[in-house]
Chains A and B, each alone.
Chain A
Amino acid sequence: DVKVTQSSRYLVKRTGEKVFLECVQDMDHENMFWYRQDPGLGLRLIYFSYDVKMKEKGDIPEGYSVSREKKERFSLILESASTNQTSMYLCASSFADDFGNEQFFGPGTRLTVL
């Protein structure tokens, strides 16, 4: 079974704190993704990575950075958390190169920034 795990289900942080969200997949997927999900807005792509140390900006990268030092791990970093970053964060992974490769999602991290 494909498994994508995220370091926390719930997280509460203060404005200005540096926040790390970790994601690990165990299926040797090339691609990994970070989304945020807000009511009425669906899923919006923050960053994705198609290989170790490779990353591309998604639709809403401002205020975020990412790190992919190992193939199985993709980290999302909020350099200085702000209240408008309160959201559900979803990590996903997939194989590359085939249209039919679905993304497998982690359980999500609900982040609250106070």
Chain B
Amino acid sequence: AQKITQTQPGMFVQEKEAVTLDCTYDTSDPSYGLFWYKQPSSGEMIFLIYQGSYDQQNATEGRYSLNFQKARKSANLVISASQLGDSAMYFCAMREGHIKDKIIFGKGTRLHILP
């Protein structure tokens, strides 16, 4: 079974609109961490945001926020006021407590921002 599921292979969004990228995860470990990375066409992976399983508040970093719904095992990335530079591949990832040094990545969502 997949540990990280990103159900949207591709998305097209109008500039300035908010974007939600879906991510669901599967773990029985009570301790885990969730990450989002951005990969522009240049290829480098850029860390965006992190949410710990025990964090009470949803994580936010500038225009990025993580909508963490623990009971649903959902960790959606929300980008507010999208910009052309947000066009990229986005990966959701998880680190589980019992194998805490490894991160498992989803297959990614390609986001296209339209002018």
Contact = CB atoms under 8 A, between A and B. Distances in A.
A64 interface: no
A101 B63 CA distance: 21
Interface string A31-45: 101010000111111
Interface residues of A, number: 28
B43 A88 contact: yes
A33 B105 CA distance: 13
Given A42-B106, A102-B35, A102-B50, A96 B43 contact: no
Contact of A108 (B44, B103, B106): B44
A45 B44 contact: no
The CB with the most chain A CB atoms within 10 A, among B45, B53, B91, is that of B45
Contacts, number: 54
Interface residues of B, number: 26
B101 A107 contact: no
B14 to A, nearest CB: 26
Nearest to A100: B50
A10 to B, nearest CB: 11
Interface in B79-97: 91, 95, 97
A41 B52 contact: no
A92 interface: yes
Interface of A: 31, 33, 35, 40-45, 48, 50, 58, 88, 90, 92, 94, 96-97, 99-100, 102-108, 110
19 contacts: A33-B102, A40-B107, A42-B106, A42-B107, A42-B108, A43-B91, A43-B105, A45-B104, A94-B101, A96-B101, A99-B32, A99-B52, A99-B53, A99-B100, A100-B33, A103-B47, A105-B45, A107-B43, A110-B43
Q: Which 8 A-B pairs have the closest CB atoms?
A: A99-B33, A105-B45, A42-B107, A43-B105, A102-B47, A108-B43, A42-B105, A31-B101
